[in-house]
Amino acid sequence: MTVHPYIDLRSDTVTLPTPEMREAMYSAEVGDDVYGEDPTINRLQELAAAMTGKEAALFVPTGTMGNGVAMLTHSGRGQSVIVGDQSHVYHYEAGGISTLGGSPMHVVPTLPNGMLDIEAVKEGIADESDSHEAATSLICIENSHNRCGGTVQSVEEVESITTLAHARGIAVHMDGARVFNAATALGVPVSRLVRDVDSVMFCLSKGLCAPVGSMVVGSHEFIRRAERNRKLLGGGMRQAGILAAAGIVALEQMVERLPEDHQLCRLLAEGIAHLPYVDLDLTGVSTNILIFTLRDAQGRFLADSVVNDVLAKVQEQGVLISRMGPHGIRAVTHHGIGRQDIERTIQVLEQVLRDLHI
Ligand code: TLP
């Protein structure tokens, strides 16, 4: 097993498969999944559908492919998709649905908790009757919200989007890469949180520690069509039950420990909130992602070069944190991080920031 010399808070994507996962992978029963004959993938898909309360599920290699497959399935060429200006699908998926499917993205502001600005969504909805406009086919939401700092939108907030969308005949897709973190923080079953959305993508390979894999869930009909789009993108794998076996362990064993990650993230936030230059909103810290900025006494963001220098000095002391967005610094807690790692991180940040002279 790889032992990382650093306290690695760059992302929960760095998590390693657990011994139970490796066991399950070793003994997984497999078959050709393009023929639908991999029993382990079939079992994972049934489990994912049951846990999210949806009819069917599809195993895909990555979250990016899962979002792509879902969006291609909902939206045709020349139909537009409403996305948030801070969303992962907009920032980090190489142009996503616009590149893949010829669907323009209509970008609306994101509120601090990751919720789309509902008035902007209402104004952004275009219909078929005006030939100037690309008619809206889909609204994408993200929960928990990565670039907003792992923030969570409530059941009611999700419903306010789905009610609006469905009244206009528009589908809603949730990028739920960390939807189990969101549901855990809200204290609701994940099936309740996603009940009214038409599709969800969630990742097995982040806080849930599987080495590879994401799921797309939705209706039978939706998943049937999504399978073709997965094939189009080259995601039809063969004896990938080896990977799905780890995914089953992820869903059966790793969801219940997510509160530990959330508590440690909170501990980190509280431990650094009072440090010089640190600007962070403790009220928004509800899952495993912490985003903060560095500002001077006048409230101005510290220069890029200074922020990079801080991260380099922190790294010299054995702690990896990363940048997110124009000014944000991101730290993500996960299975590989314990209380002592967080205490050490607070110590290191304190020392580096107290020694900073600008
Ligand atoms: N997020 C990664 C980076 O791409 C930023 C990370 O380190 O957090 N949706 C959301 C909300 C995500 O955070 C990510 C990955 C994805 C989709 C894509 O998943 P993968 O990396 O499996 O393609």
Note the pLDDT of residue 300. 97
Centre of ligand 1 to C-alpha 22, Å, is 23
Give the count of alpha carbons within 13 A of 196, CB side only: 17
What pLDDT shows up at residue 329?
A: 98
Whole-angstrom distance, CA of residue 199 vs CA of residue 265: 29
pLDDT, mean over the chain: 97
Looking at the structure, do residues 132 and 274 belong to the same domain, yes or no?
no
For residue 270, the surrounding DSSP H or E stretch is helix 258-272
pLDDT digit string, tens, across residues 242-282: 999 999 999 999 999 999 999 999 999 999 999 999 999 99
Are 155 and 193 within 8 A, CB to CB?
yes
Does pLDDT of 40 surpass 80? yes
pLDDT at 358 over 90: no
- Structural domain ending residue among the three candidates 224, 255, 286: 255
Map 1-28 to HEC letters.
CCCCCCEECCCHHHCCCCHHHHHHHHCC
**Of 255, 281, 308, which residue constitutes the final position of a domain?**
255
Q: Is residue 1 part of a domain?
A: no
Domain count, the chain: 2
Q: Is residue 32, in this structure, part of any structural domain at all?
A: yes
pTM attached to this predicted model? 0.97
How many whole angstroms from 88 Cα to the centroid of ligand 1? 7
Pairwise pLDDT comparison (119 vs 4), residue with the higher score: 119
> Does 8 sit in the ligand 1 pocket, CB within 6 Å?
no
Looking at residue 133, the DSSP 8-state letter turns out to be S
Q: Are residues 77 and 46 in the same domain?
A: yes
Domain that holds residue 307: 7-11+257-354
- Is the model's pLDDT at 1 over the cut of 90? no
Question: What is d(CA 217, CA 219) in angstroms, rounded to the nearest whole number?
Answer: 7
Q: What are the tens digits of pLDDT across the range 287-313?
A: 999 999 999 999 999 999 999 999 999
Ligand 1 atom with minimal separation from the 64 CA: 23
**pLDDT tens figures, 316-326:** 999 999 999 99
Q: Is the minimum distance from the CB of 114 to ligand 1 under 6 angstroms?
A: no
Q: Are 209 and 19 in contact (CB under 8 A)?
A: no
> 291 with 208, same domain?
no
**230-241 pLDDT per residue, tens:** 999 999 999 999
Same domain for 195 and 235, yes or no, is yes
Per the structure block, which two tokens stand in for 338?
């314990």
Domain termination residue (choose one: 194, 223, 255): 255
What does the radius of gyration of the chain's CA atoms come to, in whole angstroms? 21
Mean pLDDT of 41-49: 98
Q: What is the CATH number of the domain that holds 244?
A: 3.40.640.10
- The answer on pLDDT for 136 being more than 70 is yes
Q: Is 2 domain-assigned?
A: no
Measured in Å, residue 64 CA sits from the centre of ligand 1 at: 7
Q: Encoding tokens for residue 78?
A: 């020349």
- Candidates 100, 198, 115; CA nearest to 154 is 115
Query: Within a domain: residue 185?
Result: yes
Residue 2 has pLDDT above 60, yes or no: no
* pLDDT average, residue stretch 109-116: 97
State pLDDT tens for residues 167-221: 999 999 999 999 999 999 999 999 999 999 999 999 999 999 999 999 999 999 9
Claim to verify: residue 250 and residue 269 sit in the same structural domain: no
Do residue 74 and residue 163 come from a single domain?
yes
Same domain, 123 and 60: yes
Q: CA 80, CA 65: separation in Å to the nearest integer?
A: 19
| CB burial readout 279-298, b (16+ within 10 A) else e | ebeeebbbbbbbbbbbeeee
Domain assignment present for residue 325? The answer is yes
C-alpha closest to that of 81 among 151, 138, 30 = 138
| Segment 64-112, tens digit of pLDDT | 999 999 999 999 999 999 999 999 999 999 999 999 999 999 999 999 9
Same domain, yes or no, for 268 and 236?
no
**pLDDT band at residue 3 using 50, 70 and 90 as cut-offs:** low
Is the shortest distance between the CB of 263 and ligand 1 below 6 Å? Answer: no
**pLDDT value, residue 4:** 62
102: tokens are: 């010829």
Give the pLDDT of residue 357: 83
Does position 161 have pLDDT exceeding 70, yes or no?
yes
Residues 6 or more apart in contact with residue 139 via CB below 8 angstroms: 81, 82, 83, 116, 121, 161, 165, 170, 171, 172, 173
281 shares a domain with 241: no
Taking CA atoms only, the protein residue closest to ligand 1 atom 6 is 11
Collapsing DSSP to helix, strand or coil, 162 comes out as helix
User: Is 64 touching ligand 1 by the criterion CB < 6 Å?
Assistant: yes
pLDDT band at 5 (very low <50, low <70, confident <90, very high): confident
My answer on whether 107 and 210 are in the same domain is yes
* One domain for residues 235 and 275: no
CATH code for the domain of 307: 3.90.1150.10
**Alpha-carbon span 22 to 45, nearest angstrom:** 19
Q: Which ligand 1 atom sits nearest the alpha carbon of residue 144?
A: 11
In this structure, the answer to whether residues 119 and 213 fall within a common structural domain is: yes
> Residue 58 forms beta bridges with which residues?
216
Residue 284: inside a domain: yes
CA of 140 to the centre of ligand 1 (A): 15
